[in-house]
Amino acid sequence: MLILKIIPYFFLLSIATTSFAQTDEAFHQHKKWDQLTKKYVTDDGFVNYKGFTKDSTKLNQYLELLADNHPTDKWTSNQKKAYWINAYNAFTIQLIIRNYPLKSIKDLAGSIYRINTSWDIKFIHLGDETYDLNNIEHSILRKEWDDARIHSAVNCASISCPGLRQGAFTANELEKQLDEQMRIFINDKSKNTIAADKAKVSSLFKWFSGDFKDNAPSVIAFINNYSDVKINPDADISYQDYNWNLNEAK
């Protein structure tokens, strides 16, 4: 009788463990965000905010999943990185549709950098912590990962930003996705005009030049890793004015 009692216990334990693992893996696919962005983001990375507004219940369900599944030490590095990139992008969408319509994300707060800008609004509740967008980008993503490709993955809801990705970032595909995002961004002629002897590139390459130089011998060398047109080392480099108007799909 003792054996009959023990076997079902371990059998049930095994089922519970398997079920938890499957649920955990399903979460890391970020399926709700994947579906929303494939539905409301255009091929060139612009956003249908009216569509997101109509589907805000599903967006809020995804944000609740993020809140209930805060990263732990058991997560892989790529699981954590994908989580924070998706969180940044999804909460940015929420910030916009809460205040829609608007001309620019910068209209939502002050202009003192890292003090009272739109990126300093503490509205993101994950686990027991409250964050702003700057916390996620600078204190987590840039601090924890020496990966300049992150700048092409997070979207600041503005025309000059790298386009928002159609589909969620996932741990299993993250390396390929980040390379793809940076390649798309650098070869987007509306954001970077590149010739061998002269280039006018996004201001992101000026503002975060240290990040790009940490990943390559120079900013030009970093760009050349992804650019279809290679820039000469002594080329004349200038920077595009940044257009902060809302990246709304027409």
pLDDT on residue 113: 78
Does 198 or 113 have the greater pLDDT score?
198
pLDDT at 61 over 80: yes
What's the rounded Cα separation, in Å, for the pair 240 and 192?
A: 8
pLDDT at 79 over 90: yes
Q: What is the pTM of this model?
A: 0.90
Q: Quick check: 82 pLDDT over 50?
A: yes
* 101 contacts 157 by C-beta, under 8 angstroms: no
Looking at the chain, the whole-number percentage of residues with pLDDT higher than 70 is 91
3-state SS, residue 49: helix
Q: Say whether the peptide bond before residue 101 is cis (omega within 30 degrees of 0).
A: yes
Report the distance separating Cα 127 and Cα 136, nearest Å. Answer: 14
pLDDT at 15 over 90: no
List, for residues 232-246, the tens digit of each pLDDT value: 999 999 999 999 999
Domain edges within the chain: 30-189
